[in-house]
Structure formats: structure tokens, C-alpha cells
């Protein structure tokens, strides 16, 4: 008799837990917000597909989404769903970045970090096949402060090096302890961020590519030294770096 009671209690417990889980899932689904809803042909059949971005806010009234999904409802009734990383202000644009004559889905999500970093995603659904085209990796940049209130960066992708004269910041660097009478206190790298922006642009007036910007800072993020632009073009199934541009930020001089 005791065994029967135990089995009955266990069954009741599992049924209750299942019901609670289902209720929680339904409540979560009900709180999911539609952030954007676009209609256009992304499959290539000449009919409009529906491209939706949904998000689950961290809490009611917040702008941070702890869950973000890209959902594509194709004209043939087939659906695709991709989970993206959490963040702020997810948004989609539609550009033919792989140059196959059909618009791709480019999604940007702000991370909300102090450096203004963004995450990016690129998908094609040509012929009703979802494929991740990926986006370019940020430039790999080596950096180092030098004695005499200077700094140097080297862009590994191109091999180019740039030296910055930071003497107009000498007082701040001395007060912070980074330098002592112009001599570097210890070997110190600069702060090099990943992409803060990555946007579709027309390259040579012909094909669309992506232009990225990365910030280089000194002792802290607000100590901005340079912005580095990179221009990318999708070619033969991969991203090709076309050029880079280093833009100084309130410096006395910069040399290659």
C-alpha cells in the first residue's frame, strides 16, 4: 500500500512539474516582443517572405533583450529560426552582399559595452536553403606604448605600422602612473576593440561590401587614440580585405 501511495505522489509531482514548465514556457512566449517585421523576397522565387526579429526583454520595460531570434517565414510555408546573442536594438538590413543577385539578411545587435561594440550576422535563404555567410573578423592589431609618450600599432592583416605622438597627453599619463618622467613604467598594450560598426557600403559604385570601424584607446576607453576603418568584399565564398584607413584622434602627429 505504501509503494502505491509513493508511486501516486511521484506521478502527481512529475505531472505538476510538467504543467508548471509548460505554463512558464507559455508565459515566456507571451512576453516575446516583435522588434521588426519585414516582407521581401529573400528566397529567389519572386514571392515575398516574412523576416521577423523577436526578443525577450530581460525584464519589463528594459531595452536589453536576453534572448533574440531571427525568424524567416518563407513563401513555401517553410520556417527558419536562428538564435542570436543577447543585446540591445537588434535590427536588420537587406543587401546583396554575396553578389548572387538576391538580397541577404544582415543583422546588427548592440552589446551595450563601454566601447560601443556590436555583433553582426549575415544569412542567405536562396532556394529555401538557410546558410550562414558569416561576417569578416575584426583586424588583428598589435599595439604597444613606447618611451617618450609614444605608441605604435601594427595591422597584422596588412603588415603596416603606425607610430603616434602622444606628448599632448603627457601630464595625464604621468599622473596615472603610466609614465614616469617620460619613461614607460612597465610594458603596456593599447586597448584595441573589435568592430564598433560594420555597415553595408557600395564598393567602387558596383558591388556591396562591408565597412568596419575599430577604436584604439590608450590608458582607458575614453583615451581615444585612433579609429581604424577596414573595407571588405565577399569573393569566392570568403571575405577579402580591400583597404584600411587609420584616422588619428586629437593627436599632434602620426607617422607610418
Domain assignment of residue 99, yes or no:
yes
**Domain closes at, from 132, 160, 193:** 132
Instruction: Please list the pLDDT of the chain residue by residue as tens digits (256 residues).
Output: 544 554 545 555 455 555 444 444 444 445 899 999 999 999 999 999 999 999 999 988 788 999 999 999 999 999 999 999 999 999 999 999 999 999 999 999 999 876 789 999 999 999 999 999 999 999 999 999 999 999 999 999 999 999 999 999 999 999 999 999 999 999 999 999 999 999 999 998 889 999 999 999 999 999 999 999 999 999 999 999 999 999 998 654 445 5
Looking at residue 24, the DSSP 8-state letter turns out to be H
Judgement on whether residues 108 and 177 belong to the same structural domain of the protein: no
Domain assignment of residue 22, yes or no:
no
Judgement on whether residues 57 and 149 belong to the same structural domain of the protein: no
Show the cell assigned to 197: 560598426
Which residue carries 522565387 as its cell?
Answer: 45
**Domain closes at, from 110, 132, 154:** 132
Give residue-wise pLDDT tens across range 231-252: 999 999 999 999 999 999 865 4
Domain assignment of residue 203, yes or no:
yes
Note the pLDDT of residue 112: 86
Note the pLDDT of residue 61: 76
Which residue carries 512576453 as its cell?
Answer: 31
**Domain closes at, from 70, 105, 132:** 132
Residue 35 and residue 49 in contact, taking contact as beta carbons nearer than 8 Å:
no
Interatomic CA distance for residues 246 and 219, integer angstroms: 19
Q: Tell me which residue range forms the domain holding 215.
A: 141-255
Judgement on whether residues 124 and 155 belong to the same structural domain of the protein: no
pTM over 0.75: yes
CATH of the domain at 120: 2.40.128
Note the pLDDT of residue 24: 42
Note the pLDDT of residue 27: 46
Interatomic CA distance for residues 227 and 254, integer angstroms: 13
Judgement on whether residues 128 and 145 belong to the same structural domain of the protein: no
Judgement on whether residues 125 and 159 belong to the same structural domain of the protein: no
Domain assignment of residue 180, yes or no:
yes
The DSSP line for 91-118 is EEEEE--S-SSS-EEEEEEE---TT--E
Amino acid at each position: 500500500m505504501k509503494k502505491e501511495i509513493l508511486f501516486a505522489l511521484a506521478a502527481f509531482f512529475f505531472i505538476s512539474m510538467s504543467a508548471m514548465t509548460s505554463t512558464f514556457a507559455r508565459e515566456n512566449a507571451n512576453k516575446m516582443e516583435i522588434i521588426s517585421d519585414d516582407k521581401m523576397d529573400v528566397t529567389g522565387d519572386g514571392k515575398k517572405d516574412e523576416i521577423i526579429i523577436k526578443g525577450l526583454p530581460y525584464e519589463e520595460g528594459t531595452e536589453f533583450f536576453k534572448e533574440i531570434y531571427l525568424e524567416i517565414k518563407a513563401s513555401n510555408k517553410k520556417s527558419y529560426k536562428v538564435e542570436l546573442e543577447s543585446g540591445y536594438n537588434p535590427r536588420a538590413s537587406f543587401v546583396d552582399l554575396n553578389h548572387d543577385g538576391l538580397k541577404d539578411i544582415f543583422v546588427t545587435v548592440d552589446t551595450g559595452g563601454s566601447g560601443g561594440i556590436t555583433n553582426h550576422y549575415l544569412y542567405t535563404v536562396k532556394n529555401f536553403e538557410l546558410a550562414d555567410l558569416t561576417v569578416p573578423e575584426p583586424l588583428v592589431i598589435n599595439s604597444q606604448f613606447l618611451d617618450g609618450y609614444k605608441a605604435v600599432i601594427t595591422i597584422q592583416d596588412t603588415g603596416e605600422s603606425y607610430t603616434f605622438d602622444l606628448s599632448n597627453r603627457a601630464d595625464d599619463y604621468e599622473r596615472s602612473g603610466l609614465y614616469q618622467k617620460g619613461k614607460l613604467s612597465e610594458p603596456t598594450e593599447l586597448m584595441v576593440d573589435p568592430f564598433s560598426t560594420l555597415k553595408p557600403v557600395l564598393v567602387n559604385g558596383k558591388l556591396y561590401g562591408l565597412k568596419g570601424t575599430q577604436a584604439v584607446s590608450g590608458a582607458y576607453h575614453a583615451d581615444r587614440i585612433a579609429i581604424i576603418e577596414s573595407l571588405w568584399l565577399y569573393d569566392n565564398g570568403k571575405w577579402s580585405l580591400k583597404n584600411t584607413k587609420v584616422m588619428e584622434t586629437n593627436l599632434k602627429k602620426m607617422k607610418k
